[in-house]
Structure 1
Amino acid sequence: MSSFDVRELASAIMNVNDHATNSFIQQIRRRISILERPLVTATGQGKSYIYANFNPKYAQYALTILRTYYNFCLPFGKGDKRQTPAQRMGLTDKVFDMKDIIYMK
Structure 2
Amino acid sequence: MNGSREVWFNNPINRIYECDKYVAVLTDAERLSEGKLVEFIYRASLHPIDNFFQMVRRRLSLLERPMHSESNNGRVWTGKSAYNPAMVDKMLQILRVYYNFCLVGKDKKTPAERLGLARGPVEIRKILHP
The answer for the alignment partner of 1:48 in structure 2 is: 77
The answer for the alignment partner of 2:31 in structure 1 is: 4
Q: Distance in 2 between matches of 1:57 and 1:6?
A: 46
TM-score, length-scaled by structure 2: 0.64
Which stretches in structure 2 are left out of the alignment for 5+ residues? 1-26
Identity across aligned pairs (percent)? 32
Q: CA RMSD in A?
A: 2.2
Closer, same or farther: CA 57–4 of 1 in aligned 2, 3 Å:
farther
Which stretches in structure 1 are left out of the alignment for 5+ residues? none
- Asked if 1:33 corresponds to 2:46, the answer is no
- Asked if 1:69 corresponds to 2:98, the answer is yes
The answer for the alignment partner of 1:86 in structure 2 is: 112
Higher strand residue share: 2
> Which moves more between the two structures, 8-17 or 83-92?
8-17
Structure number with greater CO (CA < 8 Å, separation at least 6) is 1
- Equivalenced residue count is 101
> Which moves more between the two structures, 51-60 or 41-50?
41-50
Shift of 1:75: 0.6
Contact 1:39/1:48 (<8 A) preserved = yes
Q: Distance in 2 between matches of 1:28 and 1:64?
A: 11
TM-score, length-scaled by structure 1: 0.77
Higher helix residue share: 1
Q: Which runs of 4+ in 1 moved over 3 A?
A: 2-11
